Structure 1
Amino acid sequence: MHILLTGAAGFIGSHVARILLDRGDTVVGLDNLNAYYDPQLKRDRLARLTDDAGFRFVQADVENRSAIPALFAAEKFDRVVHLAAQAGVRHSLVDPHAYIDSNIVGFMNILEGCRHHGVQHLVYASSSSVYGGNTAMPFSEHHGVDHPVSLYAASKKANELMAHTYSHLFNLPTTGLRFFTVYGPWGRPDMALFLFTRAILAGEPIQVFNHGKMVRDFTYIDDIAAGVVHTLDRPPQPDASYDKAAADTASSWAPYRVFNIGNHDPVPLMDFIAAIERHTGKTAQKVLMDIQPGDVPATYADVSALEAWTGFKPATSIDDGVGRFVAWYRDYFRV
């Protein structure tokens, strides 16, 4: 297939691209290489892809209302994986307009491109953050997600609503994936594993929010990337038997689905830190902090629906995953 992959220089995007290329798809990877974190890391991820004849990189913003339509018109993509977004719950308190530009306007451009150029399936990144104030565990796609606690979460909820509209009006098959705390080699420097590993190896203190009373459904990158590709290969179909009176938010009469994609094995933050300590051989200096605005104390994914739909089943333990990250970090930064 000929696939558009946005966010190709990103953490998840670069891993998804590698799987698609290895199986023989051609990939146009789009990214703006912005400075939200060190662009050199993004360029280094791309360098692992650009030697492949099936890959072509395009540098552009998804919110660009001339570049994105022109790209769709020229390339005639079969399917689209849309991972480009302004990420980060905490950063949305500092620069909210970036989330509207990238996550709302940018997604609108992707939907329009898919609509007008016969794309067979759009898979896009949602987030576990959409569960917001929900405390029922594990989080299920059948739960309501109407109480976001950050603008980032609200933008991802908006993406799901926008996608449903296009599935309904234009019969565009769309699938949203609610990612749960992805970690692993080539990860994002603003996320806990990267921050903790850097500080521990440097002998610096780490900030532990909510006094360590956090639980996360940490999900290893290889499992996530495989799940994205499995999902791409199974476009949703219209469901004439859908009961509109039941109002199940996980599916629709339209060719629309939304799934959790996580590890289904929540880990206390202090246990996660202990795994980093084991693999670095150093003890962390912990500074206990209050929970930050926009954060939630716990996440826990029910992934049974995605497993039934695609066969997705995470297979990487926290200890193995953290060990692989620490080994990559030491090699990449020569520490």
Structure 2
Amino acid sequence: MGRNVPAGIIAGNKDVRTDPNDMFVKSLLNIADNLSSNIYVKMFGEKPALNTFLFHACLEKSSDYKHNLLYPQERLTVQDFRNFIHFFLDQGYVFTGPFSAGADQFDPAKKYGLITFDDGYYNNINLLPVLEEFNIPALFFVPTDYLYNGKIFWSDALYFYRKQSGQTDEAILKEVIHLKGMRLSEIEAYIRTNFGKHALDVQYDANRFMTEQEFIQFARHPLVHIGNHTHTHEVLTNLSEEEVNKEFRTAQDILQKLLGRQPDWVSYPNGSFNERIIAIAAEAGMHTGISTIMEKNYFPLDHYIHGQLLLHRFNPLVQDGKMALNKFRSSFQLKTKLKQWIN
């Protein structure tokens, strides 16, 4: 079987070469990011705001991740999720579900949290007992095509097969970033060419998506709210305006059929957006959109350039069984500021 690879990627059983200096700089930056956030909170305290949090999958225990069936976006476990909620409740947070346009129901003197999960993994059912334990709502963004197409995400397949050949997470991340610049059909063809025609077929509960009936049942839970995550989960900045519009509206139509209503919240796949994509989302009926810009949302929420259609969101990564949660209380996020200054 052939091993076709993009430029700069080495196939085979050896790791893709990575620059040790790059890894060292990233480690230093992460340390500086955490330290600066903690220092800010200690010196200036925490300002009232809405903190929105992004997760994807949730498995029962950390050992479940050893099979490498999921691209490691958080490596979240049920207990991690419980600890996460405990931490922010202890800090005086009030957890909210999705809210209406204008968001005038917020007390500007309080701290709020909004929990979101992207992608509609079947393993998200593991969250329900924890949500019920604390009576806390969560918002789930689901790409509707995956309710029907019998496929797993290409990034999960890539991670599984590359780990089998002994590659490092750092090397696989570089390949993922490269592939995100391609259309979905090209990426999936690349996966099948490299790993076999059945490489994207569903085989395990850990990395599959909900079926239509599972999703309908899940969405009926009183603490579960559903948002638009497009139809096919294409990176929208790779598409024409007509294609972007079709992605949003196809998902809206399917969710209307399944749930009897269309969501007015959207999560932009891969966190990729531009001004026209935001405008198309509004035209398709969404009043609130969520990005992956790691900052707090201050009141009033509609004072931002794009109002509620570009809310910020933190992604709490699990490292060595822990999340650096205190940093998300800070009004200063070093890595986010650096990205903004560079751009």
Q: Which has the higher contact order (CA 8 A, sep 6+)?
A: 2
TM-score, normalising length: structure 1:
0.31
TM-score, normalising length: structure 2:
0.31
